[in-house]
């Protein structure tokens, strides 16, 4: 072994880059726990008292497998809530989605697009057509309890709360290594949201299910993804985002590694586009929120770059210390492990391969946003995340949310 100052420097640099890669998921939540005071819990309205009016908004494209069960559940959610209306935008689907929705046109506000315009355009249109005090956004493939809207609305009794998000769980984590990795990642995300909710406030939400004050709604440009844009606008306005951790919603994770790579590529590109547009305003947030935003919402998209640079530094250090042959052998062993995992589906190599492809998708999406300005205004949903039908069991006694 040949140890040189350059070898030591490369090793320390590799460790620093790996630490940066882990900041979002390890050091950032730990810093909130150790150094941030707990914020007071929001005042909750009575579950039985009068409620603000509510518009439930859903944008759908080629959702024939799940749309009937979703609308049936939303009708139950609206009845349980009280003063609620349901608004559905069909983004020029090419399957039977519209035909399946038409029998409900007397109970929902149904808008059918003549040409694809995208989810954000559809949601903006639905919000414009409604007049409620609160707006509930949800996706077609998301399952929920009947009482979800009632519980999400309660924290709005606190005037500092501008948005409330549900707790998303991936329901098919045992289906494949890819879905297992996706479920693990999202459990980490939800854990971070829980810590944020108790300290600095949640920094951005996903589109599975969240509720927003109409007074804080600023229509996103149609080429930007609505959930991240709207929730970051809440922070810019000085309001808080609360995680209603007991309100659990469920959806499937992608099953195939290549499919998940493409999905991550799209999501990363969409997120980076939002960050680029809103950064001039986000940078003016109070320092603690700005730290949380950079740690959670920016650095996580840089994870594959930190990991890649760290790996290159380690390989260079091995080459200097043990020779080029040893470094080549290390690289070859890593590539062989990825190939075995991807081609033969042998655990744990398959999990490593799935995670690597997912990270590659994230890197590609960030680069697309920065250098090609791609928008993904419209896209086809991953087929494996749509089950044949949605389960309607979550609202029954003894279901996952029963208390």
> Residue 67: CB partners within 8 Å, gap ≥ 6?
60, 97, 100, 101, 140
Confidence category of residue 347, pLDDT binned at 50, 70, 90: confident
Lowest mean pLDDT segment, chosen from 1-5, 154-158, 244-248, 370-374: 1-5
DSSP E strand stretches across 91-160: 109-112, 134-138
Map residue 219 onto helix, strand or coil.
Answer: coil
Given this model, what pLDDT does residue 396 score? 47
Instruction: Average the pLDDT over each of 41-50, 194-203, 359-368 and give the range with the smallest value.
Output: 41-50
Rounded to whole angstroms, the Cα distance separating 300 from 24 reads 6
pLDDT of residue 402: 38
Q: Which pTM value belongs to this model? A: 0.92
From CA 119, how far away is CA 212, in angstroms rounded? 17
Q: Give the span between the Cα atoms of 210 and 135, in whole angstroms.
A: 8
Q: What are the pLDDT digits (tens) for 73-85?
A: 999 999 999 999 9
Which pLDDT value is given to residue 3? 64
Distance between CA atoms of residues 294 and 300, nearest Å: 9
User: What is the separation of C-alpha 319 from the centre of its chain, rounded to a whole number of angstroms?
Assistant: 39
pLDDT digit string, tens, across residues 283-309: 999 999 999 999 999 999 999 999 999
The rounded Cα 33 to chain-centroid distance in angstroms is: 22
Give the 3-state secondary structure of residue 59.
Answer: strand
E strands, 116-269, are 134-138, 161-170, 209-213, 240-251
- CA gap 78, 272 in Å, rounded: 34
Question: pLDDT value at position 398?
Answer: 35
What would the pLDDT profile of 203-250 be if each residue is shown by its tens digit?
999 999 999 999 999 999 999 999 999 999 999 999 999 999 999 999
Q: What is the mean pLDDT of the chain?
A: 93
Q: Is 111 left (phi over 0), alpha (psi -120 to 50) or beta?
A: beta
């Amino acid at each position: 072994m040949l140890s040189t100052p350059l070898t030591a420097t490369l090793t320390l640099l590799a460790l620093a880059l790996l630490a940066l890669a882990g900041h979002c998921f390890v050091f950032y939540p730990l810093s909130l726990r150790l150094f941030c005071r707990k914020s007071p819990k929001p005042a909750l309205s009575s579950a039985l008292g009068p409620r603000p009016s509510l518009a439930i908004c859903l944008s759908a494209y080629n959702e024939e497998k799940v749309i009937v069960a979703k609308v049936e559940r939303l009708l139950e959610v609206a009845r349980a809530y009280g003063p609620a209306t349901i608004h559905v935008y069909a983004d020029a689907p090419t399957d039977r989605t519209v035909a399946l929705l038409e029998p409900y046109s007397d109970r929902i506000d149904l808008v059918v697009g003549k040409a694809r315009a995208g989810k954000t355009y559809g949601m903006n249109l639905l919000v414009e057509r409604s007049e409620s005090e609160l707006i509930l956004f949800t996706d077609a493939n998301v399952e929920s309890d009947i009482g979800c809207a009632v519980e999400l609305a309660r924290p709005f009794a606190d005037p500092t709360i501008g948005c409330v998000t549900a707790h998303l769980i991936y329901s098919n984590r045992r289906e494949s290594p890819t879905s297992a990795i996706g479920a693990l990642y999202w459990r980490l995300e939800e854990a971070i949201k829980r810590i944020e909710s108790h300290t600095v406030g949640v920094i951005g939400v996903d589109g599975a299910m969240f509720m927003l004050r109409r007074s804080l709604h600023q229509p996103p440009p149609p080429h930007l993804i609505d959930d991240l844009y709207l929730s970051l606008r809440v922070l810019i306005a000085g309001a808080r985002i609360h995680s209603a951790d007991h309100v659990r919603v469920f959806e499937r994770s992608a099953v195939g590694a290549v499919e998940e790579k493409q999905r991550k590529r799209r999501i990363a590109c969409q997120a980076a586009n939002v960050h680029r547009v809103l950064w001039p305003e986000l940078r003016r947030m109070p320092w603690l929120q700005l730290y949380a935003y950079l740690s959670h919402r920016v650095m996580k998209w840089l994870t594959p770059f930190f990991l890649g640079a760290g790996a290159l530094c380690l390989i260079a250090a091995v080459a200097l210390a043990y020779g080029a042959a040893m470094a080549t052998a290390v690289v070859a062993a890593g590539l062989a492990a990825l190939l075995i995992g991807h081609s033969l589906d042998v655990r744990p190599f398959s999990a490593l391969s799935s995670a690597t492809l997912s990270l590659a998708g994230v890197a590609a999406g960030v680069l697309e946003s920065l250098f090609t300005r791609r928008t993904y205004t419209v896209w086809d949903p991953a087929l494996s995340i749509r089950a044949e039908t949605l389960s309607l069991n979550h609202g029954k006694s003894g279901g996952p949310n029963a208390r």
